[in-house]
Amino acid sequence: MAKTPSNVVSALSFLMKPGGHPVGAVCAISGDDAFLRHEVRTALVAELSSADSEGLEVETVDGRVVEWRDVVDSLRERSLFGSDRRVVVVEEADALVKRCREKIEQYLEKPTADAVLILEVKTWPGNTRLAKAVVRCGLTIRCQVPDRGRELTEFTKQLKDWLIQVAQSQSEVVLERAAVDLLLEQLPTEPGILYQEIAKLALLVDEKNKIDAALVRDHVGSWRTRKTWDMIDAAAEGRASDAIDQLDRLIAAGEEPHAILPQMASTFRRFAAAVRAFEQAELQGRRISLRMALEQSGMPPFKLSAAEGQLRQIGRPRAKQLYEWLLSADLQLKGYNSPKDRARRVLETLIVRLAKQAAPDKLAG
């Protein structure tokens, strides 16, 4: 087996130590896992920014429509104020690579000094001249989940280490090794789903501030987890009857309404935050897309496409009330409506409020 070059790294290796991998003039973020690509890009830009005290210039362009000459112009542009270093991120860069492969290869023969080109691609064969050029003068980060064999074993080991690090750095909780082992037994090896599950479990920790195997055993199950997310999607899409049916099945299977609400809230709060970002941009005379507003709200990358349609269904007036509705539901579950049957009705009320029958106000963008 050919040895992997040192400047070709896995997404998890990079995420656990962003500063340990020099970028050079170009970085290819490759692979079909949208969540990992998003996390890598965010960490990469943050690392580049932290090394630049004068304010790094970062421009993001759409590879499906941008012209290569405009990318080059952006790489060569210099600010009158702030940093001389430029970073250009090309999203959906597969299309640009297909159209302009030779021009990109020519650029990499003599790249612009103090500029970093980031290509975010799904397909990136390592035997092409372009891929080899990136290896010579930059960094390749693979955002791919292996499907079998030794690579999957190594990926799973790294994934466990990363999840423990994420729990500490982002949720300030300790994820015990036994708990993460159990998580990987219960759920598919998908970083985005596991990331979401850690965030949910972090809301349920006691005063010890630890996610242990008992907490995972009580609140995580492969069937129940999938059905809970399916129920949330059905509610957001306005399919109240389907969502309530799934809620009934979850409760019959032993799921507690008090554990379901935090998971619902983690999604619905992001819809409320996205509408707030959308309206703030309007007040400032700027126009942003719903997708950009959802990104700013922290919606996971692998959920963005579905979330756009769900937010349009919910509509602006109802999305603006979500914070109030969620707070009310939380207070009710902690008070008079804490018994299981009454708690279920609280969740049903929240679902019905999002039903399609309440004609949504259209959101532009």
Nearest to residue 156, comparing CAs of 186, 190, 179?
Answer: 190
Stretch 82-89: mean pLDDT = 80
How high does pLDDT run on average in the chain?
A: 87
CATH number assigned to the domain comprising residue 166: 1.10.8.60
Check whether residue 74 and residue 177 sit in a common domain: no
Q: Are 314 and 360 in contact (CB under 8 A)?
A: yes
Rg (CA), the chain: 23
The reply to whether 362 falls in a domain is no
* Rounded CA separation 351/188 (Å): 27
Parallel/antiparallel/unpaired status of strands 174-175 and 86-91: unpaired
Domain boundary among 142, 165, 181: 142
Confidence of residue 359 (pLDDT cuts 50, 70, 90): very low
| C-alpha distances out from residue 14 to 18, 126, 300, 343, Å | 5, 18, 19, 43
Burial degree of 304 (CB within 10 A; 0-12, 13-18, 19+): middle
**The model's pTM:** 0.64
Segment 325-336, tens digit of pLDDT: 999 999 998 887
The reply to whether 176 falls in a domain is yes
Say what percent of the chain tops pLDDT 90. Answer: 52
Segment 287-321, tens digit of pLDDT: 888 888 998 888 877 678 889 999 999 999 999 99
Range of the domain at 262: 223-353
Segment 127-151, tens digit of pLDDT: 999 999 999 999 999 999 887 778 8
Res 2: pLDDT: 45
Segment 104-126, tens digit of pLDDT: 999 999 999 889 999 999 999 99
Domain boundary among 173, 192, 220: 220
Check whether residue 184 and residue 127 sit in a common domain: no
Stretch 224-247: mean pLDDT = 87
Quote the number of domains for the chain: 3
